[in-house]
Amino acid sequence: MTGRCLGLGFLLVVGCTISAACSKSSPSAPSSAQPSASATPVDAPHVVTDEPLSSATAFELTLREGGLRLVWATPDSGAGWLRSAELAQDGKPTLPPQKPAVPARGLGKLTDLAAASLGEELALAWVDQGKSEARAEALVLSGAAPGLLDLGAAALSAESARGNIVLASEHEKGRAMVMWRGLDAPCVDPKSASPCVGFTFRRIRAGAAETTGLPLSVPVPCTSHSVELAVSQGRFHYGVCTREGAEPVTTMFSIQYQPEYARAEPLLKGCLPLGTVDVAGQPWLIGDCHGKRKAATVPLTDERVRTEYVDAPQVTCTPERAELRQGRFVLTLREPRADLQAILPPALLPTGARAGWTGKSLVVAYVAGSRLETRAFACQGGTLHAL
């Protein structure tokens, strides 16, 4: 598929056919290994909990007012399975883990937990997996007791797989967008040689899930990081990783409602997607390209796609900000933000980690054996050093 401008009706009502899917899984599957070498020699990590998690992907680092919050799910599927801890600048919980009142889940293991801040509320989405079926589920933590939102059937996947359900905040509207990988579905192209898989969208708010658009149907998607989703400056961007011949490719769809405009663009052919990062209102897709990271702008209008290698970004900092720079890619971190794991240098991350900026320090959360741990890096002498 070549990039081209398309009518909103085509993108939202038809659901483009995309060529066959990735056979390789993304390199981001969690591991119980300790973090790889960091910017400087590190002290002992902070153990947030040694209570078992429901799965290796049943945790998420997300925003809270003035900093970051870590949420995770225990193996218990009865009421009270969720845990939450607000983190200080050094990555330590400010208080013992909280146990928000949440309803029971139905199937078994909670995997692929995603979270997004909605101001004072917090949206969560995940896949609940039993032995022979899986469901996409969500809830919004607010002042009232949250109701469990059963979004629909989901694909069974490896417990270590991330990115088959994604969540993007529309906090100014008090809601979030959810997109997930579902079950086999009819192909848009009846001549397709491969079976197709459906992808579905929902908008969620406290106590309610709303249908939006129509589902996509694509031939066999990637086993992890199959979906991408971002909301930026009133624009909506979503993507699906598939394969053209032997090479993976992520086709990103961008939609603007006022004025009405839409575009579909295949990006980073040969690269397994790791996520999107917003840089000054411009989303960039980050991918692993045979061991080297590469970034590509997600275009909306007629601008050309820009690509940059980001396999070795220079990291500099002051006590108030940090900057990652390589070529034309420049990411400046000031206010707190989450979802930085796709772009951070591997030397700062253990496999499967989540990362965020508190406003003054970089915090990394990860699973090590049966423990959920954090490390933090702050500015000393213009570079990030482990606290």
Give the residue from 312, 329, 318, 313 showing the smallest Cα distance to 359: 318
Q: CA-to-CA distance for 300 and 263, rounded, in angstroms? A: 6
Number of Cβ within 10 Å of residue 125's Cβ equals 27
Could you read off the pLDDT of 228-266 as tens digits, one per residue? 998 877 788 999 999 877 789 999 999 888 788 889 999
Q: What is residue 190's predicted lDDT score, i.e. its pLDDT?
A: 77
Q: Count the Cβ atoms, other than its own, within 10 Å of residue 374.
A: 24
pLDDT tens profile 26-68: 333 333 333 333 344 346 799 999 999 999 999 999 999 889 9
pLDDT in tens, 138-174: 999 987 778 899 999 999 999 999 999 999 998 778 8
State residue 3's pLDDT score. 44
Strands 149-154 and 165-170 come out as: unpaired
Output phi, psi for 292, to 5 deg. Answer: -115, 140
Q: Give me the chain's average pLDDT, please.
A: 86
Confidence of residue 207 (pLDDT cuts 50, 70, 90): confident
Mean per-residue pLDDT, 196-212:
92
Task: Compute and round to an integer the Cα radius of gyration of the chain.
Answer: 20
- The predicted-structure confidence for 340-365, as pLDDT tens digits, reads as follows 999 998 888 888 999 999 999 999 99
Task: Say whether 335 sits in a helix, a strand or coil.
Answer: coil
Domains, in order of start, for the chain: 4-386 (2.120.10)
Location of structure tokens 């209570």: 51
* Cis? peptide before 259, omega within 30° of 0: yes
Nearest to 387 by CA among 85, 53, 187, 90: 90
Q: Which two tokens stand for residue 54?
A: 């429901």
According to DSSP, the residues that pair with 205 across neighbouring strands are: 208
pLDDT digits (tens, 9 = 90+) for 175-194: 999 999 999 998 887 777 67
pLDDT in tens, 306-316: 999 999 999 99
Is omega for the bond preceding 299 within 30 degrees of 0, making it cis? Answer: no
